Amino acid sequence: MIMKSGVRILIGVMSILVMASPAVAAGFALVEQSVSGLGNAFAGGAASAEDATTVFFNPAGLTRLKGHQVAGAAHLVLPSTKFKDDGSKVSPLLGGGALMGGDGGDGGETKVVPNFYYAGSLGNGWAVGLGVNSPFGLATDYDDHWQGRYHALNSDLITVNINPSVAYQATEHLSLGAGVSAMYVKAKLSNAVDLGSIAYVQSGLNPGLAPLVQQKDGNVKLDADDWAYGFNLGLLYEFNENSRIGLAYRSRVKVKAKGDANFTLPAAISGIPELDGGIAATFADTDAKADITLPDSASVSLYHRFNPQWAIMADATWTNWSTFDELRVEFDSNDFGITLPDNVTSENWDDSWRFALGATYNPLDKLTLRLGLAYDQTPIPDAEHRTPRIPGEDRYWTALGLGYRFNDRIALDLAYAHLFVKDSKIDKQAGTDPAGEDFFRGTLKGEFKSSVNIVSAQVNVLF
């Protein structure tokens, strides 16, 4: 009972902290799992293994750590996402007029992403670890009456990952590691619904109802969660005390989230009782579910120390984003016996790569300075498949960090990164088929300008 209560409290605390944490790696992955790693733009992720954060990047690295240690970190993420319109409009079948509304304001949300890790040496080549982190997350939040409101208003994806690990030094040079993940996933999505256009189409395009287009907005909020499970594997090969290579793999995680779809309707749709009743019955609160596969990933990292002052590292990470082909929400039958058709957003994402280079300099025994650069490829294939929920593009990382060891027990890491994000174009076409996924959402055409700043701190305690 005490253990279960502790887990619930842990999830609650983590959920509050990572609520609306924006995705700052490609797609909606969160690579911010270590402050010492952030200073190098995570260039040595699977090979550095210099503190307890190796639990996430490569559990095999646990064999390099002595004694017991904990690491607690917080990443303050400050993103900015602004939309500029370039001809957004409703379907030609609905008159082809411009989508009304503003630019949505700044869709970025400033939040905190926390991490916690424990690493312990058991002797005889064995070591264990525990990580609690958030490997995936996204958040965008636009003004209620912006042009893309039928595509997205608020989007939150929260994950809390509990990841115990074990490692064994199989030979003088080779260490192996493995871990399991229990991941809590919670998603909240909202958007406006153009009930005026729906009533107009249901009337058989009655000219008398044409003025309702974009004039009777409703709202839907989807809230669903689930527990899902996965694993991770790692290998660390040390050529000598100064050079090593790390290989790491994290499995895909299949999520079957269940929850509620809650609708908010205006007081009247058209003034015609038959339509009012029909719309109210159709858009009544109901249960909903959504299945999504969070992608697997694989990394290879190199680390080499030239001398006591200088070391360099490099990393290449592949993420299997092609598992994310669509976001489909399925509705149950509501209290009126009506089942809405699935709400589908085609994604068709591609696999992506992330490449990073980094260096560390130790001017003093107690002081480490870090530098890193990275290129992070977007999995979004084109403007037609970009959505305002995740308006990502290729991004370039520049990172700086420092570590200071106060004594044999306590050390502090600080890091800063700026992400230069390419302007991302969106061209979601409404079409003329009322059964099309974007028909009632409208053609959203324009460009997002985005950037991200990250400021992080980590405390390491050895005992």
* SS3 state at 309: coil
Rounded Cα distance between 427 and 447, Å, is 9
CB 361 within 8 A of CB 398: no
- Cβ-based neighbours of 258, under 8 Å, separated by 6 or more: 224, 225, 226, 287, 288, 289
Q: pLDDT by residue (tens digit) across 369-392? A: 999 999 999 999 999 999 999 999
The structure tokens listed for 98 are 């411009």
**Biggest CA pair distance of the chain:** 82
One DSSP character per residue, 90-131 reads --GGGT-PBPPSB---B----EEEEEEEEEEEEETTEEEEEE
Rounded Cα distance between 111 and 78, Å, is 7
Which pLDDT belongs to residue 279?
85
- Cβ-based neighbours of 427, under 8 Å, separated by 6 or more: 383, 384, 386, 443, 444, 445
Which pLDDT belongs to residue 270?
65
Q: pLDDT by residue (tens digit) across 299-358? A: 999 999 999 999 999 999 999 999 999 889 999 999 999 999 999 999 999 999 999 999
Where the chain has pLDDT below 70, the residues are 1-26, 270-275
- Cβ-based neighbours of 445, under 8 Å, separated by 6 or more: 85, 86, 87, 88, 89, 426, 427, 428
Q: What is the dihedral of CA 429, 430, 432, 436, to 10 degrees?
A: 100
Polymer length in residues for the chain: 463
CB 116 within 8 A of CB 35: no
Q: Alpha carbon of 122 to those of 51, 146, 250: distances in Å?
A: 16, 57, 24
As a CATH number, domain 2-462 is 2.40.160.60
- Segments making up each domain of the chain, as ranges: 2-462
* Rg for the chain, CA atoms, rounded: 25
> Which run of H or of E encompasses 6?
helix 2-18
> Which run of H or of E encompasses 277?
helix 273-282
* SS3 state at 274: helix
Residue 140: φ, ψ to 5°: -140, 145
> Which run of H or of E encompasses 312?
strand 310-319
Which pLDDT belongs to residue 7?
39
CB 419 within 8 A of CB 452: yes
The structure tokens listed for 12 are 């609650």
Taking phi over 0 as left and psi of -120 to 50 as alpha, with beta for the rest, 125 belongs to: left
Give me the amino acid identity at 286: T
Give me the amino acid identity at 27: G
Which pLDDT belongs to residue 269?
73
The structure tokens listed for 19 are 């609520």
The DSSP output letter for 349 is: P
CB 417 within 8 A of CB 395: no
Which pLDDT belongs to residue 138?
85
CB 119 within 8 A of CB 67: no
Which pLDDT belongs to residue 110?
87
The DSSP output letter for 41 is: T
